[in-house]
A = this chain, B = another copy of it.
């Protein structure tokens, strides 16, 4: 048996991911040591309550409530506490103490990423966060490294498993949003308070992180335009189905050029959108995640897998840990964040996409002409129009698909429609994303 030197690892947080990381470190120590050339010694697990029950059986002597002391005893710190504080202060303390850091904390990165990266760069510490987006799916490293010689043009991500499960269930069973959410809760896919998921906040954090890496630009989560799935109805999904689409909550990161000034900029946004059934993202079912990347040279790429789950996400954490540990063994600092391009953000009003707009109209002559005029006035070009009259209610519903138009023009159009006397319902809009080649 080979004798290895050891690297001390301190774990902050022991929830569903943390407990699996600890378990795997203890169970597969020998195999990891062979791959790294050093033994990983889990020296402690900092938690708020050492008596709380855990998802995995772990030696009680590892637990401590003194995170700062644990940091000072660690070569590598794994932060899996979640939330902003005390996670932010502890990660900064770990970096300042000379430790390298692995984190899966998307909220922290989306809000304080630049501060953490700067702190790490200053002391030459490594800071890795593969687990922050897409759970088990390797997406951070491919974006940072594999595509480092290419130009990412666009990312379309299904990055929230809860909402994908809900929308997929609505699509396959015809369930209402409420029933699908209840099913997600029963399966443990949705939390007691599902706001972070169904409100699109979780996806927005991931969009901020993906856009930052892809465009070498700091994109704060507050700059991400966000709509959740709370307004999506089973009627919309049914209608999308008939038209050959599926509704997905997309995190979209895009490189754009101002047509007037030629200035490059970026957009990051989250909203439910229609995706054609022939698009690879349409085949992402259940609570799975997938990130579809379009790069100038590589063309379209897709990364698919489990977007959440304790043991799945632990795989991403351990991948980061092994990479950092190898660097300890062979020497040299980690790869710093690439020098930032700092492109400006395009506001949502400047984004151009296609739309599917539906609303009820009064069943009287001249209605279509009036509606068409609203579109023409705001320079939104209609691609197709479908009017259906319900036999039961006698209501006439219009579904209008547009060519590409600017968000601001679309907003003006829908405002005019909503204010018009010929429109007898609210006006609902779904964007259409992801061309099928």
Contact = CB atoms under 8 A, between A and B. Distances in A.
A306 B317 contact: no
Contacts of A317: 149
Contacts of A148: 35, 318-319, 322-323, 326
A5 to B, nearest CB: 14
Interface stretch (A336-344, A359-367, A406-414): A336-344
A126 to B, nearest CB: 11
A330 interface: yes
Contact of A146 (B280, B304, B319, B327): B319
Interface string A142-156: 100111111100000
Nearest to A25: B149
Contacts of A32: 149
A327 B318 contact: no
Interface in A304-320: 304-306, 309, 311-312, 314-320
Contacts of A150: 315, 318-319
Given A297-B20, A301-B138, A314-B297, A34 B341 contact: yes
A149 B320 CA distance: 8
A280 B302 CA distance: 12
Nearest to A137: B301
A24 interface: yes
B312 A305 contact: no
A150 B332 CA distance: 24
Interface string A173-208: 000000000000000000000000000000000000
27 contacts: A31-B151, A34-B339, A35-B148, A37-B339, A136-B295, A137-B298, A138-B138, A138-B146, A148-B318, A148-B322, A149-B319, A149-B321, A150-B315, A283-B283, A297-B312, A297-B314, A297-B315, A298-B305, A298-B315, A299-B306, A300-B305, A301-B304, A301-B305, A301-B306, A302-B303, A326-B335, A330-B336
Interface of A: 20, 24, 28, 31-32, 34-35, 37, 130, 136-138, 141-142, 145-151, 216, 280, 283, 295, 297-306, 309, 311-312, 314-323, 326-327, 330-333, 335-336, 338-339, 341
**Which 7 interchain pairs have the tightest Cβ spacing?**
A332-B332, A149-B318, A138-B146, A298-B315, A136-B298, A301-B305, A297-B315
